[in-house]
Every structure is written in C-alpha cells, then in structure tokens.
Amino acid sequence: MKEINLKPIGVVHSPYKQKFAIPRQPNLVPAGKGTIELFSGYADLNCLREIDNFSHLWTLFFFHATAERGWSPTVQPPRLGGQKKVGVFASRSPFRPNPLGLSVLKYIGHKSVNGKTTIEVQGIDILDKTPIIDIKPYIPYADSINDARGGYANDPPKENILIDFTKEAEDQLLALKLTYPELREFIIQILCQDPRPAWRPKDTDKKQYGMVLYDLNIKWKKVKNGISVIAIRPIETD
C-alpha cells in the first residue's frame, strides 16, 4: 500500500486565527472554546447518536497550515528550550511525514440548525479552519494509563506568571464584555503558558508581541514581574 486517501469529515471554527499563541497541548487553556462543523454526508444526527454520554472526544485533524513545509527526522521541542533535538516520532511536532494531529477535547454539546450540524468543544488547541479527519469518544478505562511515563514532558507546565492589564486594555475589555464575556480569563490562561518562542531569552526579552484571538489583536510584552497586556483592538478589515 503506497498511498492512503483520506477525506475530511468537517472543519474547526476556532478563536485561534494564527499558529502563534495556540496552546502546545489540549486542555491547557479551558477558556478556549470552538466548534467542529460537520460536512454534508456526515451531518446526519445519527452519526452522533449516544455521543452525549461521553465527556471528551479524540479529534484527529490535518495540519493544513504547515503541511507544505515538509518534515525532518529530528525536531526541537519547546519543552526542551527549542535547542535539544529528539526524533520526530518522540515529539508532537506538526512537521511530520503525515501531518496529522490528535487532541482530546472536552465535549460540550451538539446541535443541528438548518441542516448545519456542529459540535461544541472546550480546551481546544487547533487552528481555525483546520480539516477534521475523524472523531472518536475518549474511553477512560482504556485511554488513561496510571503508570504511563511522559519522558521530557512528564510534568505539566508551570503557570506562575503574573498577568496584568494596562488601563487601556482594561477599558477595551469592558467595551468587549458583551461580545466576549470570558475574554479576560481566556487571555490570562494563554499568557500563563508563555507562548513566546522557547529559544528566545526569557529574562531580557523586551519585544512587544501580538496575538490574534477571534477578530481581535492583543498586544503584550514581558515585564519584570510577569506579562503586561497593553492593548486589545479589533482587526481592521478592508
């Protein structure tokens, strides 16, 4: 068998519009919510019969934004500072022989409106417009292994970064509260993961960063005691 053809069953609608600042693992940012829209042919509600009995779903997807960049036998995981190399099969890098990703996401619910069937999920770590290849239920007794070892990623990342907001950012949060009621907590959860490139010097970094969430451009920078959110502005469109 030299080639396998796969057909997407749906697409992700995610608040993450660019790769930067997407959590490096699922469920690190619980405030990150998204939907999976099932394509015609898979939108029959019979495909989702009994899915409400499961709390989490395995989601198999295609790394569409990086697929054309190819792959290498070794990669440099952010968890190791982006400097030590490991084998591609000992990593979760998106740059793989077959650019497939796998995330377990919290299932919130599903609905069908005017023939459009969507599944709402939480703890998402997937780029907007990502093709979905398959969905399977998470089975706790089989999928959770108590004595499993996590190698260089055995422990969860630390979340002890202090996040503050300038007055301008606070005013903008207030103005956006009706549209995005959980935006403040969403931003805090993302920045607590410190999305800066792993190789960049942490303590002397004075660069101002921007990340796109929904239709918003969030500006922030590293300060002495943590991270400061400078401004939250709508993205200008022509």
pLDDT by residue for the chain (238 residues), tens digit each?
A: 788 999 999 999 999 999 999 999 999 999 999 999 999 999 999 999 999 999 999 999 999 999 999 999 999 998 888 889 999 999 999 999 999 999 999 999 999 998 899 999 999 999 999 999 999 999 999 999 999 999 998 888 876 789 999 999 999 999 999 999 999 999 999 999 989 887 776 667 888 999 999 999 999 999 988 999 999 999 876 5
User: What fold, for 162-234?
Assistant: YaeB-like fold (3.30.2310)
Q: Give the integer Cα–Cα distance in Å for 186 and 83.
A: 29
User: What fold, for 10-143?
Assistant: Elongation Factor Tu (Ef-tu); domain 3 (2.40.30)
What does the pLDDT read at residue 236? 77
| Residue 82 three-state SS | coil
Q: Give the integer Cα–Cα distance in Å for 202 and 224.
A: 11
The residue extents of the domains of the chain are: 10-143, 162-234
pTM tops 0.85, yes or no: yes
Q: Cβ distance 73 to 50 under 8 Å? A: no
What does the pLDDT read at residue 57? 98
HSE-CB at 206 with a 13 A cutoff on CA atoms is 1
The string of pLDDT tens digits covering residues 131-187 is 999 999 999 999 999 999 999 988 888 767 899 999 999 999 999 999 999 999 999
What does the pLDDT read at residue 237? 63
Q: Give the integer Cα–Cα distance in Å for 160 and 211.
A: 20
Count of C-beta atoms within a 10 Å radius of residue 86: 16
What does the pLDDT read at residue 238? 54
Q: What angle do CA 17, 232, 173 make, to 5 degrees?
A: 115
